[in-house]
Amino acid sequence: MSREVPDRAMAIYAHPDDPEVACAGTLAGWAAKGCEIAVLSVASGDKGGVRRDAKLAGRRATESRAAAEIVGASSWDTLGYGDGEFDNDLELRSKLVERIRAHRPEVVLTSDPTAVFFGANYVNHRDHRVVGWAVLDAVAPASGVGSYFPEAGAPHRVPELWLSATLEPDWWVDIATTIDTKVAALACHRSQLVDTQALGEDDLAGDHEVVAGLVRHRAELDGRGAGLELAESYRRLILG
């Protein structure tokens, strides 16, 4: 990648709302400058509801497509695994390599799998860690070496990996101009904000304000590491 904004980028995360939480501000800024962005969710989000609902996976796909459109992504898709029902195995890595080779991104964004304990009261979700490791393995070296998964398309070497939700950030993106887009994208995930079955689909008053407050607070905390008002932070890997 020779410019500040990549020509193509790919965000690969575990659950349907993870990309918006992690990097929507970054992606929106790139999309506005012409970057072609593909968003891929490994899991369907079928276990992410307030209550069990057989239609939840379909609802979350609809929410994610709406969020991707707001961000400016060219595509959103899911591999369709059940939440908690996949491993960093040959099957998953082959699917990731196929998608990476098809889109040919200059930057891949995913979760930092080495981040396990956040403070004394939160353990990073297993799915986030599994996806992070699988993406690392799919990128370095599999996607760029033809002898790995030769049926998955022409090799493509990914120049950069950006790891979000990291305990070791060394790269920050100013999202002051895209914070409202990030809020709007996250607000699309209505199934994660309220129990819509109990309240009704239209009884969502106040949710946007709650999301805006949480997103801004997180961006302020991230920005402190770089002296920025609002930022998203990453562990940036430049691959040789």
Sorted by sequence, the CB contacts under 8 Å of residue 23 that are 6+ apart come out as 11, 109, 162, 164, 232, 234
Handedness of CA 80, 89, 110, 1 (dihedral sign): negative
pLDDT by residue (tens digit) across 74-133? 999 999 999 999 999 999 999 999 999 999 999 999 999 999 999 999 999 999 999 999
pLDDT by residue (tens digit) across 151-190? 999 999 999 999 999 999 999 999 999 999 999 999 999 8
Q: Is residue 230 domain-resident? A: yes
Q: Is residue 2 domain-resident? A: no
At 194 the pLDDT is 60
Q: Phi-psi region for residue 95, left (φ > 0), alpha (ψ -120 to 50) or beta?
A: alpha
Q: Is residue 141 domain-resident? A: yes
Q: Is residue 3 domain-resident? A: no
Question: Residue written as tokens 């379909």?
Answer: 58
Q: Is residue 1 domain-resident? A: no
pLDDT by residue (tens digit) across 32-41? 999 999 999 9
Whichever domain contains 129, its CATH number is 3.40.50.10320
Whole-number Å distance between alpha carbons of 90 and 71: 31
Domain that residue 67 falls in: 8-238
- b vs e for 46-62, b when ≥16 Cβ sit within 10 Å of the residue's Cβ? bebbeeeeeebbebbbe
At 196 the pLDDT is 45
The values of phi and psi at residue 45, to 5°, are 80, 20
- Number of domains composing the chain: 1
Indicate the pLDDT class of residue 51, thresholds 50, 70 and 90.
Answer: low
